[in-house]
Amino acid sequence: MIEAKRNGGPARAGSGGAEKGGAALIETVRMAEDYLKRRGVDSPRLSAELLLAKVLGCGRLDLYMRFDERLGEEDLGGYRTVLKRRADHYPLQYLIGSVEFYSLPFAVREGVFIPRPETELLVEWVEEAFDGERGARFIEFGVGSGVIAGSLARRHPGWRGFAFDKSKEAVALSKENLERLEIGKERVSVFAADGFEAVSAAGAFDLLVANPPYIPTGSIGALQREVSLYENRAALDGGADGLSFYPLLAASGRRILRPGGMIALEIGDGQGGRVFRILEEAGFERIDVRKDYNGRERLAAAFIPVSRGA
């Protein structure tokens, strides 16, 4: 049977394995959920189920078909290990090792920024703007795990792109993800760089897309513990006001985008007006700021004038 630990740890099994009367999966999940809830973990049931599915090597929905099965001692030991890490607010995505973005699977690991669902809205806006365009050339600043470049290239076989990041870990991971999606180097070239110095061709791209760091330095400590304690600070820190990367992006976009080209950026809530002015001062037109599904400012986009003299 399962016993709750008096010291607040996760539930533990008795001496039996699956064939010796170990805990049923449904009972294990319920006790894990209670443990994570007491430790202040958001969505504890979701974490409990996804982590158990990871340990058992099955899908989350498969658990519902197996809830009467009994958990063996070895699997329970592995489950307790990941539960303890989750109880310390270690990110669920790192424990599972993957996320779904735009219905595509992407590996994630510690040291590389975890993609957020809101970033899908950035891809949606790009696709809306390039509706029917079969041969767009894009460049991504800060490729991270490769979800933006990978989604655009997978969904639009005729598009070609470049993507870079100053993090070698991010470059390696994004290359792995693109390879898993069967996106070759001839379609998306990923490289390590700290800025746009490696991009010399003026007017070479139709699209510049980026989800840059935009959290003000002083606000990082107030974020969820999963973020403030474990995610790469360089992928979060946007400087004192959170806007340190946007002037660089605007100036670089003005140089490397063709007439009519688009710059599409993720932004933080409350930054829309200031990013609008940065883009305006750089000479962009048709500037727009959009909110996410929670009503928070999340995206900004603009276009190079069709006439460079405009």
Q: From the annotation, which residues make up the binding site for substrate? A: 211-214
Q: Annotated binding residues for S-adenosyl-L-methionine, as ranges?
A: 142-146, 165, 211
What are the distances in angstroms from CA 172 to CA 190, 199, 309? 9, 20, 40
Q: Are 129 and 173 in contact (CB under 8 A)?
A: no
Measured in whole angstroms, the distance separating CA 251 from the mean position of its chain's CA atoms is: 26
What are the distances in angstroms from CA 124 to CA 75, 117, 130? 40, 12, 10
Residue 207 is encoded by which pair of tokens? 């699209």
Give the Cα separation of 133 and 153 in Å (integer): 13
End-to-end CA distance of the chain: 75
Q: Annotated binding residues, as ranges?
A: 142-146, 165, 211-214
| Per-residue DSSP letter, 119 | G
Q: Are 79 and 31 in contact (CB under 8 A)?
A: no
Characterize the bridge pairing of strands 285-291 and 137-141.
unpaired
Report the run of H or E that residue 141 belongs to, with start and end. Answer: strand 137-141
